[in-house]
């Protein structure tokens, strides 16, 4: 009896500690905000209190609510507040450098992961609380899990794991490898050459832990291959990929520079076109009809054109593609925006430097987009594309407490988005460069 009573006491003691822990986790945070763009409309609200509990927003009040003694207080009265930003095109595993191509052969997965942890943190500190990773070696799946478990700091990642290609296509992992090491990659490695391959490749990505699917519908700038714009999938193959992805509830994206590859991707049902450099009016019309999103990645085009002018920065086969394709992205974006194509924010960070994501806003505005619409593309539109609008995209009660702050109104000066000084993700503050006196 004594032993039994002792065990009961131990159980009650453990239970009390757990309950106390839950109470601590559930502590409310009161945030006094000077100006808030909640992204439900274009007008900023003045003097607002946002109350979070756990990882979600539980109250939003007009005026500065009285803060209870047992609550955490954050003073953002001098800040402009927005929802956490979302980047729909990053490569979180790597970053451009002169040694990037040799690192494919010299770095172990552990090396990639350790190096990439700094990219994850830089991205979050820039105000991007959610990203869609569109291709790596598979380490991106582990990075996603490590962030979710709190092992490392970074944004919420939705990843494609490994992009899908055709043999010799932009994401064929054996491009540029000498013959005896090349092998014959297939669906397991993300290489598709038939409708049957398409289903197998998508299902393998799902098995490997992918959240979304990406295809390389045309050649690419940075692959070690000559063609940077020709189509690389049939409509039938793309349709099969999209159908298989839809079976698993996965959003699809298509890297594409040339018009024919874009057209095939849109006809095949793809959900977003990435880059879209040589997009024609015919493709724009088709995208509007189908509701296909455009993710422009202007900063990547500018970056590769700049670096291609540096001798030895890229392998020689890449240089003419970078010089031809890179400078065209911004003007194409301007045309697509004016035509009415739906825009979702994306940078291709990893091609450009992680943490510089906010520069894309300025390039979008330079091309004619209104500042509010640029912000909308990185919040509401991105959440809609990724099908996560129930939890992200606006500052509303019940949604995730992903909140950022800048010192001045970004509608007046969009460059403010390059200077984010407050970042909260899932109710936890990761960056606060503001005095709370």
The CATH number for 423's domain is 2.30.40.10
Say yes or no to pLDDT of 8 above 60: no
Tokens encoding 31: 């945030």
Helix pair angle (329-339, 298-308), 10° resolution: 160
* Mean pLDDT in residue range 2-30: 54
Taking only the tens place, the pLDDT of each residue in 347-363 is 999 999 999 999 999 99
Q: Is residue 392 part of a domain?
A: no
Say yes or no to pLDDT of 305 above 60: yes
Q: Which residues contact 149 (CB under 8 A, 6 or more apart)?
A: none
Q: Is residue 421 part of a domain?
A: yes
Last residue of a domain, one of 366, 386, 406: 386
Q: Is residue 393 part of a domain?
A: no
Say yes or no to pLDDT of 339 above 90: yes
Compute the mean pLDDT over every residue in the chain, rounded to the nearest whole number.
89
Say yes or no to pLDDT of 15 above 60: no
The enclosing domain of 211 has a CATH number of: 3.20.20.140
The dihedral built from the CA positions of residue 182, 184, 189 and 190, taken in this order, carries a sign that is positive
On whether both 334 and 425 belong to a single domain, the answer is: no
On whether both 137 and 232 belong to a single domain, the answer is: yes
> Tokens 């005026």 belong to which residue?
63
Q: Is residue 437 part of a domain?
A: no
On whether both 353 and 338 belong to a single domain, the answer is: yes
User: Structurally, how many domains does the chain consist of?
Assistant: 2
On whether both 94 and 79 belong to a single domain, the answer is: no
On whether both 275 and 160 belong to a single domain, the answer is: yes
Q: Is residue 320 part of a domain?
A: yes
Q: How far is Cα 344 from Cα 126, in angstroms, rounded to an integer?
A: 18
The dihedral built from the CA positions of residue 387, 222, 259 and 189, taken in this order, carries a sign that is negative
What predicted TM-score, i.e. pTM, was given to this entire model? 0.90
Q: How far is Cα 179 from Cα 182, in angstroms, rounded to an integer?
A: 5
Question: Percent of the chain beyond pLDDT 70?
Answer: 86
Short-list 223, 224, 222, CA closest to 305: 222
Last residue of a domain, one of 386, 407, 422: 386
On whether both 127 and 20 belong to a single domain, the answer is: no
On whether both 347 and 404 belong to a single domain, the answer is: no
Taking only the tens place, the pLDDT of each residue in 115-158 is 999 999 999 999 999 999 999 999 999 999 999 999 999 999 99
Which pLDDT value is given to residue 7?
A: 52
On whether both 360 and 410 belong to a single domain, the answer is: no
Taking only the tens place, the pLDDT of each residue in 181-218 is 566 667 888 899 999 999 999 999 999 999 999 999 99
Question: What is the SS3 assignment for 59?
Answer: strand
On whether both 153 and 33 belong to a single domain, the answer is: no
Domain membership of residue 224 as a residue range: 85-386
- Worst-scoring range by mean pLDDT, 21-30, 106-115, 250-259, 260-269? 21-30
- Worst-scoring range by mean pLDDT, 104-118, 274-288, 332-346? 104-118
Instruction: Tell me which of 218 and 102 has the higher pLDDT.
Output: 218
From residue 345, alpha-carbon distances to 272, 341, 386, 425 in Å are: 11, 13, 12, 19
On whether both 18 and 165 belong to a single domain, the answer is: no
> Tokens 């992205």 belong to which residue?
329
On whether both 74 and 89 belong to a single domain, the answer is: no
Question: Percent of the chain beyond pLDDT 90?
Answer: 75
On whether both 315 and 424 belong to a single domain, the answer is: no
Give the CA angle between residues 191, 287, 282 to the nearest 5°. Answer: 100
Which pLDDT value is given to residue 12?
A: 43
- Rounded to a whole number of angstroms, the CA Rg of the chain reads 23
């Amino acid at each position: 009896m004594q032993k039994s009573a002792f065990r009961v006491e131990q159980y009650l003691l453990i239970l009390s500690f757990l309950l106390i822990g839950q109470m601590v986790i559930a502590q409310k945070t009161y945030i006094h905000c000077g100006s808030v763009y909640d992204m439900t409309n274009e007008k900023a609200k003045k003097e607002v209190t946002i109350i979070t509990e756990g990882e979600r927003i539980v109250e939003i009040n007009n005026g500065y609510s009285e803060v209870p003694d047992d609550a955490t207080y954050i003073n953002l009265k001098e800040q402009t507040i927005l929802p956490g930003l979302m980047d729909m095109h990053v490569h979180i595993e790597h970053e451009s450098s002169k040694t990037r191509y040799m690192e494919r052969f010299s770095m172990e997965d552990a090396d990639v992961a350790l190096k990439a942890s700094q990219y994850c943190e830089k991205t979050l500190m820039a105000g991007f609380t959610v990203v869609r990773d569109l291709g790596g070696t598979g380490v991106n799946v582990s990075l996603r899990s490590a962030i979710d478990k709190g092992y490392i700091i970074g944004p919420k990642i939705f990843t494609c794991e490994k992009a899908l290609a055709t043999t010799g296509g932009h994401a064929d992992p054996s491009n540029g490898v000498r013959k005896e090491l090349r092998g014959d990659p297939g669906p397991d490695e993300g290489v598709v050459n038939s409708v049957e391959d398409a289903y197998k490749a998508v299902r393998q990505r799902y098995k490997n832990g992918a959240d979304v699917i990406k295809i390389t519908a045309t050649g690419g700038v940075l692959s070690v291959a000559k063609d940077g714009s020709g189509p690389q999938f049939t409509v039938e193959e793309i349709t099969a990929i999209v159908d298989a992805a839809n079976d698993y509830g996965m959003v699809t994206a298509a890297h594409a520079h040339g018009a024919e590859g874009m057209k095939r991707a849109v006809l095949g049902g793809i959900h977003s076109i990435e880059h879209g450099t040589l997009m024609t009016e015919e493709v724009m019309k088709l995208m509007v009809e189908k509701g296909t999103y455009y993710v422009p990645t202007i900063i990547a085009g500018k970056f590769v054109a700049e670096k291609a002018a540096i001798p030895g920065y890229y392998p020689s086969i890449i240089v003419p593609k970078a010089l031809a394709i890179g400078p065209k992205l911004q003007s194409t974006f301007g045309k697509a925006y004016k035509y009415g194509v739906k825009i979702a924010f994306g940078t291709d960070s990893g091609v450009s430097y992680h943490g510089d994501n906010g520069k894309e806003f300025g390039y979008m505005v330079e091309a004619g987009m209104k500042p509010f619409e640029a912000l909308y593309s990185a919040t509401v539109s991105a959440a809609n594309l990724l099908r996560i609008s129930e939890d992200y995209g606006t500052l509303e009660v019940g949604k995730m407490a992903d909140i950022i702050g800048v010192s001045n109104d970004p509608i007046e000066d969009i460059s403010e988005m390059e200077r984010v000084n407050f970042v909260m993700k899932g109710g936890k503050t990761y960056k606060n460069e503001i005095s709370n006196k």
